[in-house]
Structure 1
Amino acid sequence: MTQAEDRILVQEYLAHAAEPQPLSDEEKAELESRIKAELKARDAVLVAHYYTDPDIQRLAEETGGCVADSLEMARFGNRHPASTVVVAGVRFMGETAKILNPEKRVLMPTLEATCSLDIGCPADEFAAFCDQHPDRTVVVYANTSAAVKARADWVVTSSCAAAIVEHLDARGEKILWAPDQHLGNYIRKTTRADMLMWDGSCIVHEEFKFRGLEDLKALYPDAAVLVHPESPEAVVDLADVVGSTSQLINAVQTMPNERFIVATDNGIFYKMQQLAPGKTLIEAPTAGNGATCRSCAHCPWMAMNGLENLLQVLERGDQEVFIDDALREDALRPLRRMLDFTASMNLKVAGNA
């Protein structure tokens, strides 16, 4: 799939992506009360991604769930005794939760919430690409479908990708990387490994602008610039810290700066402000003549997770994630390989999405 075809397909998905309607404080309070009761009645736990609406993140915390990156969401569901895991995020996150928790029921507020990296890496086209390069070790980012993971040798997150690629490179292995080319280029630059890239990108991170960020740095010279490595190389090069969602949250807490310019989805501000209430957070610029996304600083599919459809899925149970057993086993293998490697190296595996 070419980048132009990828963009057309993403726009088609976005045309049908319905965001929840704004709610009054009274409506929110009533929905939250009913959701809490349903979670308890159905032996369910809510796990939410850092990029979801603050109301969803707060509700997950208040009900004994968690707010985390995609892999930790799945691992939390595995550790928690609840028989049902409700995943507020995008579809590949629900799939990852099911891969690691096959005995549990996995629900999502909507199964229509997807990801441009997932859309832009169709399993059949990716398999054909891999077949053209049988001499390469296939490494895929966690932001992929179960079918793409099943075709991989390794699954990685943004925080452990460099260590794993460096390990493979030291063994003389050449890498086939998918799907995010910006993250892949950052890893290649960091490790100097031989990496062949799939042509994919995140519609949120790709929109951060070098010129606007440079101007913002000049306006706030005391601010530290935090950038997710899914951003374009020119933006990454301006960063004081490049890292995963968890690593950027940690930077806000531990760095001495009072101001931070943040180049990732603005849903992360809820957790940053919660953990570092005295810090000032500034969105990195996305606007300008070159902006093409529907909601540049926030994933439109993450925005599909709302209180109303969260309550509906608990009442109806109709947005359930299913994965064929054989496919699940194939997808679990590269995930386990990553988990075993990071455990042996005492690495954290927090990622982006």
Structure 2
Amino acid sequence: MVLIFYMGANIMELFSQMADMSDEEIAEIHREHNRNSIKSLLPCQHYYQDGNCIVHDMFAHEVVERTKELYCDAFLTAHLEVPGEMFSLAMKAKSRGMGVVGSTQNILDFIKNQVQEAIDRNRDDHLQFVLGTESGMVTSIVAAVHELLGTNESSSGRARIKIEIVFPLSSDSVSKMLVNGSHGLNSVIENDLAKLAVVPGVAAGEGCSIHGGCASCPYMKMNSLRSLLRICHQLPDRDNTLWAYEASRFSATTPLGKSVAEVGCEPILHMRHLQTTKRLPEKLVDQVLRQSSHGPAVS
């Protein structure tokens, strides 16, 4: 429900902003839409509004204000699931060519394109990218940037390009610790001049902050098939009540008679089609249009 809350609110914000664009600007985003069609979508959208996430909420008011103050010249990125303020900030940056909103793949492609353009300009440069998303995609971003820069640096006479990836954090996520040689992090001290700001994380030994210090959701990391099976085996079931809900992998069907396996795989296949062809599958478009004709869609 939390993802529906953030993503639903952001889709409403996206459509609201698009409704103020010209038909030409909207066509660049989706060539089959215009102002009238976007406006007709607004009253049809409904989403769950009572939700919160300890990780996504780290991109809240304070972080947005600090981002505007300290990184006004940086490229801003936002996943579709971040809270509205960060999403709106990235949307404004996108409108002037300085940002992107979308999936993790959209964010990665945007960063790669900006780095490649800097390489092609062949002059010394320093690019900053503010990430409005969970920390899980950092590895892929760093690997992609290293690959591009490595190719650039291997060529003689090439410019020096510095890439900075910025995670905006709440001030509550930062500890004030003293580094003492080989003894590592010691106790907090009173002298502000001697304090070192440390973002809580596993590498530093102090663990992740509940305020999102490591930008990684501890609850999502607990979800696995092994954990689910362990819980099921531990539940009391003297009357074999739970066995009535045992999954039948190949024989179970939906109320409409479709295979559960087929229905479960369908969204994944739609996403793969979109990533490969950059177009929504005709089957999905047809399903959405038929559903919208029978009642309001739910985001």
Q: Structure 2 length normalisation: TM-score?
A: 0.44
Q: Which one has a larger percent helix, Structure 1 or Structure 2? A: 2
Whose relative contact order is higher, 1 or 2, with alpha carbons under 8 Å and at least 6 apart? 1
